[in-house]
């Protein structure tokens, strides 16, 4: 909490986006730096946002037939090394326990960077017959990937996430499951976090180490850069084969099952900040906001205070009975001994969707002023209607935030056909660039090296359209999405 | 799931309690051994039990004003070593990351065995004034303590838990907080898990390393041994002083705040198994049971199957509308192609509180047979009353389980006055022994070395009673609880 009644000022978003982001995270008390290099502390307000999206995603994961389970934090080195591509991808980022219980360990233990390797080894006893399939598991845990450059929520050495791991009898079922996972993420991103996403496939260069292919949802932040908001991987038989998982199928043949895995992490707290925030700080979609409403009583004298308090008591009783799309109304009356201006700043920084101002004149008129964080739109409402009007206001605020994000993304998406236009558009305007690509890794690499942009996804919903690759002019059947990304 | 229609047999509880316990955990698919020494895999059914008690405890923790936060998995060695008693207590059990990102680390990182040290260091910037207090934080996370002998759920190298950490301006407030934490645990143990507990203080020898004093709740398992079911510690100013946390109090003096910490872990899944289970397997209290009810259709011919199915459809519609004390009714119809006997065994092993048997004759009579897992009591109910009767049946089952556990504990609690009787009672009957103790560590140690019993708690609710120490005959004002323990 800011001390001494001073208004907390933050860097302007338009002037320095990364500086703005760090200010919001630290000053809105979402997170703090820790004494451990690259690891963050998630503070109460930030954790409440994470809990909201976690619980919503958990509902989707369970509703699609998955069960939560837990696997160990440690992956023995010998297991991590079984899947060749996988270990190559993760080895440079691994933290190793080499000593424990007062002794040096013979088989070093990796802190899990992800759990494919230990799960594949563990489930081989559970999958004997086609009747044991599909095996649909989900884990909520912490993982560690040693990062050189970290950023609060977006890239931290340790992060919290959900990782689903599933096994199927056929490739078709596994492919459907990859879509199921991605659809869970799309729903949370769009319906809960009000962040529109593009669903698509990653290029070979961007896929998960050890996967056959990777799908992802990509979102645009308010600096027009892209952020990968969730990935769902087809693992094929890769991990099952290297771990020796086999089942007896209906046709009496022994086969390796097909695997998938998909993950969604605390970086989505960062995405929520960057997709909606403005110069005053956070702007939270009501569904995920720890507080929907803050009530700010305005009074300078004892008499005024008494007058305002006289209407607060019945109002609070009514607010306590309000149900919204994301559960019971979450609200607070700010009775601190600070100025109204200080309080407005305080709660705007924290992105509370609505504030209600009640002063002595409002009391006389039997009304109060409802201010919407998103656009500071003011509305005078009679006191006895406020509680009943709030659910609809929260719904339209959620919808308006989503619509604004779609419009922003559309306004910053560009269709480009030649490399010169590509480069100038990227430099002058940024955003998502829809361009043709021949499918060659070398062309992808050249774009990345020369512009910093990567292929975010080959969109599922893209229209087939004949064109020529930006770089080598070879034929392409569909545009892909290029952008600079987090 | 057991394969091939064979009935899973388990060790008899009365013959070999530890063998019974392991059989239940593994064969009811609560957990499995992992490829990592001392670490377990929590399977779907076991994790659902953990989720239920976790969510219930989380509600109590939030209702008492605490916020969830997250601190890093790693504790730098230099921080862990700041509080001398603390590091001495935990050092032998620590797992160390010595290498990460391809380099050897200068300051080794401990995998947290608990988070006091890193929290004390981190919050010193947040606590400046008495207005910043109390600071009431809670963490749900994983911790690692290198154990030589492990047992599924009860003692594992890695376990999941909740650790609350709070800071207060005065010692009195901190003492009240220690009680608040313990009361959260008592409620979950008694009201949710149906496990009666004794609240009390630990002796000096049994307290948490670095604490001023430790309080605990102790429960009796069905082999009459004790299990510590949650601990709440008064840390005094110990960690605040060693980390240099100071605040400006109302009287304008700089002071160290008083700290508390309290924890509750996945070992409570083990406690739930051992407090209620019987020779047929798990017996779950309805509040924590992943399934309240399993419906077993009984039919040998196609006609019979059709007859039974004809009543299942309306029944399922009614069951879907039932609300219980622990949320919507959780139920399942077991339509597998196994014998009824196999299914009965399967669900009894898993401790589902009620099963409903419906055969063709029941269909004709418009009824079904409800069987209670706890005592196999059977009751014939008309089909149209089942859904409406279930909430009351679940409530009384929960109450009966608790009552049975209280009676069992009372029947196995003994008041003893001399050491010979103490030893013979402990050896012949086990259980809780209420005896006098002078307060000296040497007497406590002697009892432990000679009998294996420890002082579980100095009970809060104990009657003052003058007596003489079991060992050295010195005066004692209150009986304490001795027992052999997990």
Which residue from B39, B93, B125 is facing A74, i.e. has the nearest CB? B39
Calculate ∠ Cα B179-B145-B225, nearest 5°. 60
Would you place residue A81 in the very low, low, confident or very high pLDDT band (cuts 50, 70, 90)? confident
Would you place residue A87 in the very low, low, confident or very high pLDDT band (cuts 50, 70, 90)? confident
pLDDT at A2 over 80: no
| Cα separations in angstroms, A336 against A4, A44, B391 | 12, 19, 45
Q: What is the pLDDT of residue B9?
A: 86
pLDDT at A236 over 80: yes
Q: Which H or E element spans position B168?
A: strand B158-168
| A185 close to A264: Cβ distance less than 8 angstroms | yes
Which residue from A71, A99, A148 is facing B41, i.e. has the nearest CB? A71
End-to-end CA distance of chain B: 29
To test the contact with chain A by mutation, choose from B74, B104, B138 the residue with the greatest count of A C-beta atoms within 10 A, namely B74
Shortest CA gap A110–chain B (Å): 9
Q: Which residues of B touch A102 (CB under 8 A)?
A: 92, 146
Would you place residue A7 in the very low, low, confident or very high pLDDT band (cuts 50, 70, 90)? low
Does the beta-carbon distance from B72 to A141 stay under 8 Å? no
Q: Which residue of B has its CA nearest to A145?
A: B101
Does the beta-carbon distance from B98 to A98 stay under 8 Å? yes
Q: Which residues of A touch B111 (CB under 8 A)?
A: 73, 97, 111
ipTM of predicted complex:
0.96
Q: Which H or E element spans position A181?
A: helix A171-187
Which residue from A96, A121, A146 is facing B35, i.e. has the nearest CB? A121
Q: What is the pLDDT of residue A8?
A: 65
| A260 close to A174: Cβ distance less than 8 angstroms | yes
Full set of structural domains in chain B with CATH: 17-276 (3.30.930.10), 286-404 (3.40.50.800), 413-483 (3.30.110.30)
Q: How many CB atoms lie within 10 A of CB A420?
A: 10
Shortest CA gap B41–chain A (Å): 5
**Which letter does DSSP use for residue A251 in this model?**
T
CB hemisphere CA count around A122 (13 angstroms): 28
Q: Which residue of B has its CA nearest to A143?
A: B73
| B383 close to B311: Cβ distance less than 8 angstroms | yes
Average pLDDT of chain B, as a whole number? 96
Q: pLDDT tens digit string along B6-52?
A: 556 899 999 999 999 999 999 999 999 999 999 999 999 999 999 99
Shortest CA gap B33–chain A (Å): 9
What is the rounded average pLDDT of the residues A131-146?
Answer: 97
Both tokens of B229, joined, read 């079911």
- Give buried/exposed letters for A139-172 (b at 16+ CB in 10 A, else e): bbbbbbbbbeebbbbbbbbbbbbbbbbbbbbeee
Q: pTM here?
A: 0.96
To test the contact with chain A by mutation, choose from B51, B69, B137 the residue with the greatest count of A C-beta atoms within 10 A, namely B69
pLDDT at A173 over 50: yes
Q: Which residue of A has its CA nearest to B144?
A: A73
| B42 close to B266: Cβ distance less than 8 angstroms | yes
Does the beta-carbon distance from A48 to B68 stay under 8 Å? yes
Q: What is the pLDDT of residue B172?
A: 98
Both tokens of A411, joined, read 């306004």
Does the beta-carbon distance from B47 to A69 stay under 8 Å? yes
Rounded to the nearest 5°, which phi and psi values hold at B333?
-100, 125
pLDDT at A34 over 80: yes
Average pLDDT of chain A, as a whole number? 95
Shortest CA gap B415–chain A (Å): 40
Both tokens of A276, joined, read 């909606």
Does the beta-carbon distance from B102 to A109 stay under 8 Å? no
Residue of B112, B104, B108, B106 whose CA lies nearest to B146: B112
Q: Are strands A331-333 and A293-297 parallel, antiparallel or unpaired?
A: parallel
| Cα separations in angstroms, A448 against A148, A216, A433, A470, B103 | 20, 19, 13, 12, 28
Q: What is the pLDDT of residue A82?
A: 85
Q: Which residues of B touch A3 (CB under 8 A)?
A: 128-129
Alpha carbons B72 and B156: distance in angstroms, whole number: 20
Shortest CA gap A458–chain B (Å): 32
Q: How far is CA B71 from the centre of its chain?
A: 23
Q: pLDDT tens digit string along B236-248?
A: 999 999 999 999 9
Both tokens of A322, joined, read 């309000």
Alpha carbons A265 and A84: distance in angstroms, whole number: 25
Which residue from A72, A96, A101 is facing B34, i.e. has the nearest CB? A72
Sequence-distant (≥ 6) Cβ neighbours of residue B398 within 8 angstroms:
B194, B285, B286, B287, B325
Task: Indicate left, alpha or beta for A232 from its phi (over 0: left) and psi (-120 to 50: alpha).
Answer: beta
Q: DSSP characters for B186-212?
A: HHIIIIIS----EEEEPPGGGS-TT-S
Q: At what angle do helices B171-187 and B44-63 cross, to 10 degrees?
A: 140
Q: What is the pLDDT of residue B463?
A: 85
Q: Which residue of B has its CA nearest to A127?
A: B1
CB hemisphere CA count around A342 (13 angstroms): 13
Q: What is the pLDDT of residue B83?
A: 80
What is the rounded average pLDDT of the residues A385-407?
Answer: 98
Alpha carbons A140 and B58: distance in angstroms, whole number: 16
- Please provide the size of chain B in residues: 486
Q: Which residues of B touch A41 (CB under 8 A)?
A: 69-72, 122
Does the beta-carbon distance from A158 to B72 stay under 8 Å? yes
Q: pLDDT tens digit string along A246-280?
A: 999 999 999 999 999 999 999 999 999 999 999 99
Query: Which residues, given as ranges, of chain B have pLDDT below 70?
Result: 1-8
CB hemisphere CA count around A418 (13 angstroms): 2
Residue of B264, B220, B217 whose CA lies nearest to B458: B217
Residue of B347, B250, B334 whose CA lies nearest to B289: B347
SS3 B432: strand
Task: Indicate left, alpha or beta for B146 from its phi (over 0: left) and psi (-120 to 50: alpha).
Answer: beta
Q: pLDDT tens digit string along A313-345?
A: 999 999 999 999 999 999 999 999 999 999 999
Q: What is the pLDDT of residue B199?
A: 98
Q: How far is CA A345 from the centre of its chain?
A: 26
pLDDT at A50 over 50: yes
Q: pLDDT tens digit string along B262-309?
A: 999 999 999 999 999 999 999 999 999 999 999 999 999 999 999 999
Query: Bridge partners of B250?
Result: none
Q: pLDDT tens digit string along A88-131?
A: 888 889 999 999 999 999 999 999 999 999 999 999 999 999 99
Alpha carbons A289 and A52: distance in angstroms, whole number: 8
Does the beta-carbon distance from A96 to B92 stay under 8 Å? no
Q: What is the pLDDT of residue B325?
A: 94
Q: What is the pLDDT of residue B87?
A: 82
Does the beta-carbon distance from B79 to A137 stay under 8 Å? no
Q: What is the pLDDT of residue B90?
A: 85
- Look at the block and give the residue holding tokens 């399993």: B294
Does the beta-carbon distance from B142 to A32 stay under 8 Å? no
Does the beta-carbon distance from B146 to A118 stay under 8 Å? no
Q: How far is CA A377 from the centre of its chain?
A: 28
Q: Which residues of A touch B123 (CB under 8 A)?
A: none
Residues A167, A169, A170, A171, Cα dihedral to 10°: 20
Q: What is the pLDDT of residue B462?
A: 83
| B78 close to B110: Cβ distance less than 8 angstroms | no
Q: What is the pLDDT of residue A90?
A: 85
Q: What is the pLDDT of residue B8?
A: 65
Q: pLDDT tens digit string along A421-476?
A: 999 999 999 999 999 999 999 999 999 999 999 999 999 998 899 999 999 999 99
Alpha carbons A353 and A43: distance in angstroms, whole number: 20
Shortest CA gap B292–chain A (Å): 17
Q: Which residue of A has its CA nearest to B102?
A: A92
What is the rounded average pLDDT of the residues A337-355?
Answer: 97
- For B223, counting Cβ atoms within 10 Å of its Cβ (0-12 exposed, 13-18 middle, 19+ buried), the class is middle
């Amino acid at each position: 909490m800011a001390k001494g009644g001073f208004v907390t000022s933050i860097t302007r978003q338009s002037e320095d986006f990364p500086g703005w982001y760090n200010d919001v995270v630290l000053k809105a008390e979402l997170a703090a730096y820790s004494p451990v290099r690259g690891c963050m502390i998630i503070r109460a307000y930030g954790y409440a946002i994470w809990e909201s999206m976690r619980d919503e995603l958990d509902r989707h994961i369970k509703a699609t037939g998955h069960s939560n389970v837990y696997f160990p934090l440690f992956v023995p080195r010998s297991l991590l090394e079984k899947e060749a591509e996988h270990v190559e991808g993760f080895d440079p980022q691994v933290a190793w326990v080499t000593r424990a219980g007062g002794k040096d360990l013979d088989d070093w233990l990796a802190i899990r960077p992800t759990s494919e390797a230990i799960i594949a080894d563990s489930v081989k006893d559970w999958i004997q017959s086609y009747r044991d399939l599909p095996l649909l598991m989900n884990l909520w845990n912490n993982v560690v990937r040693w990062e050189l450059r970290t950023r609060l929520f977006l890239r931290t050495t340790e992060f919290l996430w959900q990782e689903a791991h599933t096994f199927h009898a056929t490739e078709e079922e596994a492919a459907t499951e990859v879509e199921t996972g991605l659809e869970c993420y799309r729903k949370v991103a769009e319906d809960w976090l009000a962040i529109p996403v593009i669903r698509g496939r990653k290029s070979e260069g961007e896929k998960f180490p050890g996967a056959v292919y990777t799908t992802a949802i990509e979102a645009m932040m308010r600096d027009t850069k892209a952020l990968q908001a969730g990935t769902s991987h087809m693992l094929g038989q890769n991990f099952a084969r290297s771990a020796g998982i086999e089942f007896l199928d209906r046709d009496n043949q022994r086969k390796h099952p097909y695997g998938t895995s998909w993950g969604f992490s605390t970086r989505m707290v960062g995405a929520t900040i960057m997709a909606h925030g403005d110069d005053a700080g956070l702007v939270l979609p009501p569904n995920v906001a720890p507080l929907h409403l803050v009530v700010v009583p305005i009074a300078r004298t004892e008499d005024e205070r008494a007058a305002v308090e006289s209407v607060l008591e019945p109002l609070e009783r009514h607010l306590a009975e309000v149900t919204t799309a994301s559960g019971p109304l979450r609200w607070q009356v700010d009775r601190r001994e600070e100025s109204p201006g200080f309080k407005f700043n305080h709660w705007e920084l924290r992105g509370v969707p609505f504030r209600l101002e009640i002063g002595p004149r409002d009391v006389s008129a039997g009304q109060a002023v409802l201010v919407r964080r998103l656009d500071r739109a003011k509305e005078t409402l009679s006191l006895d209607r406020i509680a009943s009007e709030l659910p609809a206001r929260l719904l339209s605020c959620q919808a308006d935030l989503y619509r604004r994000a779609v419009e922003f993304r559309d306004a910053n998406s560009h269709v480009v056909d030649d490399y010169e236009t590509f480069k100038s558009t990227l430099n002058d305007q940024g955003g998502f660039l829809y361009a043709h690509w021949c499918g060659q890794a070398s062309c992808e690499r050249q774009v990345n090296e020369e512009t910093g942009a990567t292929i975010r996804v080959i969109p599922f919903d893209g229209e087939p359209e004949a064109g020529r690759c930006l770089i080598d002019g070879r034929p392409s059947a569909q545009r892909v999405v290029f952008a600079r990304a987090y």
